[in-house]
Amino acid sequence: MFVDRVELYVKGGDGGRGAATFRREKYVPKGGPDGGDGGDGGSVIVRADPNADNLAGLTTKKHWKAKSGEPGQGAKCAGKDAEDVVLLVPPGTIVRDRDRGNVLKDLVEPGAEVVVAKGGKGGRGNVHFKSATNRAPRQFEPGEEGEERWVSLELKVIADAGLVGFPNAGKSTLLSRLSRATPEIAPYPFTTKHPNLGIVTVGDGGFVLADLPGLIEGAAQGVGLGHEFLRHVERTRVLIHLVEPFPSDGSDPVHNYHAIRKELRNYVVPLDGRPEVVCVSKAELTGAEEVRAKLATDIGREVLLISAVTGDGLQLLVGRVAQMIGDLKRAEAEEAARKKPTEFPTEAAVRTDDFRTAPVANITPPDGATS
């Protein structure tokens, strides 16, 4: 079962109570206070794990609570801190406060994490309250309560390239041909109910390809499961737009292309600006070349003709997509390097003659003040 959205109640553990004890040993009848501090409560943490592929593992349990810290003991012994509860989610998961709606963190990178419910701090024992006038304090702190809230987790698939198009355009078949992924394939629309990922090998490298469920007109307004499907497109660098040459409903393939582009453009986050490779699928069908030429003339761009059945055009498609992804990654790396904070020289490396002495303004201190 593929799950890409879930709501959870999370509660951090309470801090342990501080101890109010006194030193009692032979020959020391009036020893001072020696109550230890309580342990800290455990926190609930959401962490991105590359081995997780969806949120199904979190659906069997709605309430996640960390344990409380242990109370303090005598002889200044602190209570044991409680362990954290770690929830593993796929990279690309957005963590939100359900009631406030604000994003707590977007877990894009593997290993990224966010504390969604912090554990309470342990209370102080009476040893902290002794003074010259209070030599036998009986005060102690009970420990702080842990945070609690409802959070919503929303997965947006991260892939280098994503397959888009109308239902039954051949997206799942193409994914199975280019990778070892085994999506459900059937000769009827809406076979794909959730995104499927596969790794396409190119030379010594490769890229992640996502088979996204078929879109229909009105998807940007939520028709069908439009919003559920389109949000997975947000993470892709390149779109591979498949156009079926002879749709079973008799619709015009050129119109279908523009219909999908309209949905991408009208989505909450406009997606029509993503780099795109346009392909007419099912090249083994008679007349597919004519449809390709017609579409290329209409949009004024290159349109590839491919067949996941015979393999025609697949090598060209993979090479074109790999090159585009490589260019985009290099551009992203250069942009990140430009935004990197400037590293200032260390004090030892600074020379006094590298700076020019600027005039200092004469500031008169206010009346009664000393300069």
Residue 343 pLDDT grade (very low, low, confident, very high; cuts 50, 70, 90): low
- The confidence score (pLDDT) of residue 15 equals 94
Q: What is the mean pLDDT of residues 164-176?
A: 84
Under a CB-based contact definition with an 8 Å cutoff, are residues 36 and 72 in contact? yes
- The confidence score (pLDDT) of residue 53 equals 75
Under a CB-based contact definition with an 8 Å cutoff, are residues 140 and 18 in contact? yes
- Return left, alpha or beta for 171; rule: phi > 0 is left, psi -120 to 50 is alpha, else beta: alpha
Q: Do domains 1-155 and 161-334 have the same CATH topology?
A: no
Percent of the residues in the chain that have a pLDDT greater than 90, as a whole number:
40
**298 three-class SS:** helix
- The confidence score (pLDDT) of residue 14 equals 95
- The confidence score (pLDDT) of residue 197 equals 79
- The confidence score (pLDDT) of residue 85 equals 95
pLDDT of 369 above 50: no
User: In terms of Cα–Cα distance, which of 194, 208, 241 is closest to 184?
Assistant: 194
pLDDT of 329 above 80: yes
Q: What is the mean pLDDT of residues 306-326?
A: 91
pLDDT of 316 above 80: yes
**78 three-class SS:** coil
Through-space distance between the first and last CA atoms of the chain, rounded to whole angstroms: 74
Distance CA 105, CA 233 (A): 19
CA 158 to each of CA 172, 195, 218, 231: distance values in angstroms, whole numbers, following the listed order: 17, 10, 24, 11
The domain 161-334 belongs to what CATH superfamily? P-loop containing nucleotide triphosphate hydrolases (3.40.50.300)
- The confidence score (pLDDT) of residue 345 equals 54
Distance CA 273, CA 270 (A): 7
What average pLDDT is seen over the chain?
81
* Dihedrals phi, psi of 313, to nearest 5 degrees: 80, -5
Residue 80 pLDDT grade (very low, low, confident, very high; cuts 50, 70, 90): very high
- The confidence score (pLDDT) of residue 355 equals 39
pLDDT of 153 above 70: yes
Residue 2 pLDDT grade (very low, low, confident, very high; cuts 50, 70, 90): low
b/e code 199-208 from CB counts within 10 Å (16+ = b): ebebeeebbb
Residue 186 pLDDT grade (very low, low, confident, very high; cuts 50, 70, 90): very low
* 1-155: CATH number: 2.70.210.12
Work out the widest C-alpha separation in the chain, in whole angstroms: 104
Under a CB-based contact definition with an 8 Å cutoff, are residues 274 and 239 in contact? yes
Give the residue, 56 or 99, on which the prediction is more confident: 99
Distance CA 7, CA 29 (A): 57
For the chain, what are the domain ranges?
1-155, 161-334
Show Cβ contacts of residue 279 under 8 Å, excluding neighbours closer than 6 positions: 240, 241, 242, 243, 303, 304, 305, 306, 313, 317
Q: What is the mean pLDDT of residues 215-234?
A: 57
**9 three-class SS:** strand
How many helices (H) does the chain have, and how many strands (E)? 5, 14
pLDDT of 121 above 90: yes
Distance CA 70, CA 17 (A): 7
- The confidence score (pLDDT) of residue 220 equals 43
Residue 154 burial class via C-beta count within 10 angstroms: exposed 0-12, middle 13-18, buried 19 and up: middle
